[in-house]
Amino acid sequence: MDYQLFAKKLETISAIPITAFHDDLSVNWEGVKENINYLIEHELEVVVPCGNTSEFYALSIEEAKEEIRRVVEYVNGRALVVAGIGYAVPTAVELGNYAKEAGADAVMIHMPVHPYITSNGATQYFKSIIEQVDLPALVYFKDPNVSDDVLKELAPLEKLVGVKYAINDLPRFTKLVREVPTSHNIAWICGTAEKWAPYYWNAGAVGFTSGLVNILPSKSFELLEALRANDHKTSWDVWEYVLPFEELRAKYNNGNNVVVIKEAMEAVGLTAGKTREPVAALNEADHAEVEALLETWGLKTTQNL
Amino acid sequence: MDYQLFAKKLETISAIPITAFHDDLSVNWEGVKENINYLIEHELEVVVPCGNTSEFYALSIEEAKEEIRRVVEYVNGRALVVAGIGYAVPTAVELGNYAKEAGADAVMIHMPVHPYITSNGATQYFKSIIEQVDLPALVYFKDPNVSDDVLKELAPLEKLVGVKYAINDLPRFTKLVREVPTSHNIAWICGTAEKWAPYYWNAGAVGFTSGLVNILPSKSFELLEALRANDHKTSWDVWEYVLPFEELRAKYNNGNNVVVIKEAMEAVGLTAGKTREPVAALNEADHAEVEALLETWGLKTTQNL
């Protein structure tokens, strides 16, 4: 396994697919398949089932496994599949080993959901999972109370190929990137999507996560290309264009994060369905904002996607 | 089922047992049994396996089930067993139904670990679990970003017998208690233990959770009796006595919460073992503080417990 080469392949958009649900909240696998095909047809190169936009924390462990297995099958070699895994160490290892068997290319280890985390304990948490799962691994780092020393200690591990950093403390991120030797081949990924990508990029990120790609992949790629080309004018223009959508997702302490995407997808004829608990449908005002924004974007029909 | 009577039985200390681990981090069931017997011998009336002090989030789902089953067996009718359940709705329901079959008396539903929570979605989350599990239920409420309207909407549900409130915004808690009709028979439990119990009690709480009971149950009961008797002098004296321990547990954004208890237990000859990831052992200075405190408390031998 050439981990260095693998890390290079992460220098792009990490697409986090939604998990489509039927009205009774069972998983709509046909809808998941449609969505994955949509992402691949729009040239996404990295697909992350069981990410936060996939409502990972609303899936049972068995459903999470099925999502990983099916996404590998639907992607069918046309992109890298990075499977989200998490919870307690034994559960994360179980999911990781399942992902390996199912043919996933890598795992993304979620931040532990444990209410008590010590920085040394977090290092042990990630290390234990990375060691027990025979796949390249990314760490999803989002708890500002946990020290970046965790990442500095994990960085020399050969299997650690990327960090999805989601703490919007940019000087902190910048220091971290500069302190980890480039010889460790860590792909630094902005974990807070298009709204924050330009700042992270400027500080050393080489990719960003996106939920927006489920509905408007062209703009995400426009941003990626502009960032790569160091074209500030274009990148801030795209940023401004997508900002209202991202800000609507950020409402209610991010409560709206996924439901905005899903209702937008449904509004333009894609299949997404409802969100599961603990996320409810948008209120009327927010839904009207989604509709208005789709109109601005020229997406009120299923054309031009 | 007389839910009103059941709610009355919660007007006491909710003991959250630790989960003992061997050095290889496998569960030490013999140690769990010892600890449960210790709690029962010290007259704890409500035992909550799979609470946060039990490192619920470090257990696999299968281990969580086994902990519930074994604690019911070890308690053997000598106290109420309130089983902690949580994660995604299907997982929580699976754990709840397992708890029912195993003979638990009630369930305590953890706050969802989902990164995106809307208040309406949280209501649906708890409601869905309460409706699908045939046991009295408590809601563990700890996310300040979620509105108390959730609890007001859930309060009329007959099966909801208690709320473990763990947001230390006391005016917020007071308003909530006053706005929910007493006819709904909700036992309001201070979810942040001895350090906060006097304030919650003053505002209408009738019980409090405790991790301290795993090592110093006499003081927890002294506090309970003082609060019941409205004996401020004694309650603040006990509060001051246990405060250094609780503050040591609160260090590192609560990272120390469980490991302080476990290292104290080991120091006095009880069985607790290590904590699992993402919680590491205490550093030397903190461990020395634990030892010094045990000395102050006269607990440096296994006598006088």
Q: Are B85 and B125 in contact (CB under 8 A)?
A: no
Mean pLDDT confidence for B159-175: 98
pLDDT of amino acid B47:
98
Mean pLDDT confidence for A186-195: 98
pLDDT of amino acid A305:
44
Mean pLDDT confidence for B3-13: 97
Facing B61 at nearest CB: one of A89, A91, A123:
A91
Contact A255 B63 (CB under 8 A): no
CATH code of the domain in which A164 resides: 3.20.20.70
Burial class (CB in 10 A: 0-12, 13-18, 19+), A192: buried
B67-101, pLDDT tens digit by residue?
999 999 999 999 999 999 999 999 999 999 999 99
B100-135, pLDDT tens digit by residue?
999 999 999 999 999 999 999 999 999 999 999 999
Residue A115 carries which side chain, given as an amino acid letter? P
State both tokens at B33: 């049994």
Domain that holds residue B170: 3-304
CA dihedral B235, B241, B242, B245 (to 10 degrees): 160
A26-56, pLDDT tens digit by residue?
999 999 999 999 999 999 999 999 999 999 9
Give one DSSP letter per residue of B235-297, joined into a string.
HHHHHHHHHHHHHHHHTTTTTTHHHHHHHHHHHTT----PPPTT-PPPPHHHHHHHHHHHHHT
Q: Residue B17: name the closest of B49, B64, B45 by CA.
A: B49
Q: Of all helices (H) and strands (E), which one includes residue B163?
A: strand B160-165
Mean pLDDT confidence for B198-207: 98
* Chain A 63-102, residues with CB within 8 Å of chain B CB atoms: 63, 87-91, 94
pLDDT of amino acid A304:
43
pLDDT of amino acid B36:
98
pLDDT confidence tier of residue B300, bands split at 50, 70 and 90: confident
Q: How many domains does chain B contain in total?
A: 1
pLDDT of amino acid B58:
98
Q: What is the mean pLDDT of chain A?
A: 97
Smallest CA–CA distance from B114 into chain A, residue? A57
pLDDT of amino acid A301:
56
State both tokens at A128: 């234990």
CA angle B282, B277, A147 (to 5 degrees): 70
Smallest CA–CA distance from B128 into chain A, residue? A277
Strand partners, B141: B165
A257-285, pLDDT tens digit by residue?
999 999 999 999 999 999 999 999 999 99
Mutation target vs A (from B61, B123, B141, B277; most A CBs, 10 A cutoff) = B277
| pTM to 2 decimal places | 0.95
Chain A closest-CA separation from residue B30 CA (Å): 21
pLDDT confidence tier of residue B301, bands split at 50, 70 and 90: low
Q: What's the CA gap between A174 and B194, in Å, rounded?
A: 41
pLDDT confidence tier of residue B302, bands split at 50, 70 and 90: very low
A259 and B CB contact within 8 Å: yes
pLDDT at position A297 over 50 = yes
Facing A112 at nearest CB: one of B90, B119, B278:
B278
Q: What is the mean pLDDT of chain B?
A: 97
Interface predicted TM-score (ipTM): 0.94
State both tokens at A180: 């980890």
Mutation target vs A (from B24, B116, B124; most A CBs, 10 A cutoff) = B116
Residue B37 has phi, psi (to 5 degrees) of: -65, -40
pLDDT of amino acid B303:
44
Residue A73 carries which side chain, given as an amino acid letter? E
A126-145, pLDDT tens digit by residue?
999 999 999 999 999 999 99
Mean pLDDT confidence for A202-219: 98
pLDDT of amino acid A300:
75
